[in-house]
Amino acid sequence: QVQLVESGGGVVQPGRSLRLSCVASGFTFSRYGVHWVRQAPGKGLEWVAAIPYDAIGKYYGDSVKGRFIISRDNPKNTLYLQMNNLRAEDTAVYYCAKSGAYSASSFVDSWGQGTLVTVSS
């Protein structure tokens, strides 16, 4: 079955950087788009970024554009999210999520368990 395992979360000071990773298994990673979706404590879901199967074209939410970078390493079955210039409002659980199609223009059909990022001084 599909497994998505995030790592890299933790406590970081405002203005610093953090890189999240997500290792995928149970499906052919190189054939699907993948997303990052976050959820602040007690709040709703917020779409963060997505990348298609071939990494041609990367897409970002307005609140993270210019600060976050999504990338993937297909041979390693791994998705990344480089988060720069972090702000308190970036505090959330970050979910790695599999697209229902090869493109990133698709619904999410599987979710990881999430990794918590806390931005605080």
Residues contributing to the site for another protein (CB under 8 A)? 35, 37, 44-47, 50, 59-62, 95, 100, 105-114
Minimal distance, residue 108 CB to another protein, in Å: 6
Other residues' Cβ atoms within 10 Å of the Cβ of residue 108:
18
Q: How far is the CB of 12 from another protein (least distance, A)?
A: 23
| Residue with Cβ nearer another protein (12 or 64) | 64
User: What ranges make up the beta strands (E) of 40-107?
Assistant: 45-51, 59-60, 68-73, 78-83, 92-99
Q: What is the CA radius of gyration of the chain?
A: 13
Q: Tell the smallest beta-carbon distance from residue 95 to another protein (Å).
A: 7
